[in-house]
A = this chain, B = another copy of it.
């Protein structure tokens, strides 16, 4: 198989690759657990070479264009790609891509986004590429974007510019509380549930109607387990509802109810957040996070390697 560029979303614990041709069409897609976390600076190129061999890419005299987003560009990654400070346009991100020498490859790693005073300090790395993908199709977007995850990002864009953002540690809090806190006794490892689980809606409702009470409502899950036998997936659903509800009510504060939020999600989080937005009576438009990552990487590749791609 012969491609014209390799696109990579290199996260902490996962790597996803797309081989594309000169029209930007995906020729092959690969996913692995070779995350940036376990690799020394010397390991990254070897991983890419291995995947190219597995895809039977012929060795070419000209280096293969490679565009990477995510934790490969963190301080502990392949090469630190720094941060672009908001407010920033997608182009401002792309021009700060870092070039990394590697045999047979022309590698560019995209920077993350940072926010500093007078706004609260915040950073993102990886999600900026989804935003670049979103703004590639809606170049003058003004609105709020929600990107749920281990660290959910809430982003405000104005006329196609990324203005400001907040991070909610919702996914990480759910993992810590369900696995390592006193709540583990009632959840007992059963963390999978459907959005329609009444306990999820109950958790959402608690956080929606009693904003600011999260510090006092988490332990109620433990008590309900002891006193009312609410255990397992039902307890996990309630925890998730409390956390996602508290995230939504805090992040949507001040936003007009008539405004539609772009919800950029994939996997199990997509239906959970969609349900939460619906329960909060908030308008939203669900966009697939994986599609936007690919779109962002492709927009970056077109910008960084204009000679490779046909319009």
Residues on A lying within 8 angstroms of B by beta carbon are 83, 114-116, 120-123, 151, 154, 166-170, 172-173, 176-177, 180-182, 211-220, 222-224, 226-228, 243, 246-247, 249-251, 253
Cα distance A214–B170 when bound, in Å? Answer: 11
Q: Say yes or no: A224 contacts B172, CB within 8 Å.
A: no
Nearest B residue to A181, CB-CB: B172
Number of copies: 2
Cα distance A170–B182 when bound, in Å? Answer: 12
Residues of B within 8 A of A250 (CB): 212-216
Q: How far apart are A218's CB and chain B's nearest CB, in angstroms? A: 5
Q: Say yes or no: A182 contacts B213, CB within 8 Å.
A: no
Cα distance A222–B218 when bound, in Å? Answer: 23
Residues of B within 8 A of A217 (CB): 120
Residues of B within 8 A of A122 (CB): 219-220, 223
Q: Say yes or no: B212 contacts A249, CB within 8 Å.
A: yes
Q: How far apart are A128's CB and chain B's nearest CB, in angstroms? A: 14
16 additional A-B pairs beyond A215-B247, A216-B251, beta carbons within 8 Å, are: A83-B227, A116-B227, A121-B220, A122-B223, A123-B222, A123-B223, A151-B182, A167-B219, A167-B220, A168-B219, A169-B215, A170-B215, A211-B212, A212-B212, A214-B246, A215-B243
Cα distance A176–B176 when bound, in Å? Answer: 7
Cα distance A166–B250 when bound, in Å? Answer: 22
Of residues A154, A214, A247, which shows the largest number of chain B Cβ atoms within 10 Å of its Cβ?
A214
Q: Say yes or no: A176 contacts B180, CB within 8 Å.
A: yes
Residues of B within 8 A of A218 (CB): 169
Nearest B residue to A253, CB-CB: B212
Q: How far apart are A171's CB and chain B's nearest CB, in angstroms? A: 11
Cα distance A121–B220 when bound, in Å? Answer: 5
Residues of B within 8 A of A182 (CB): 151, 169, 172
Cα distance A222–B167 when bound, in Å? Answer: 10
Q: How far apart are A32's CB and chain B's nearest CB, in angstroms? A: 23
A-B contact pairs, 13 of them (CB 8 A): A83-B227, A116-B228, A120-B217, A121-B228, A167-B219, A167-B220, A169-B181, A172-B181, A212-B246, A212-B253, A214-B214, A215-B247, A216-B251
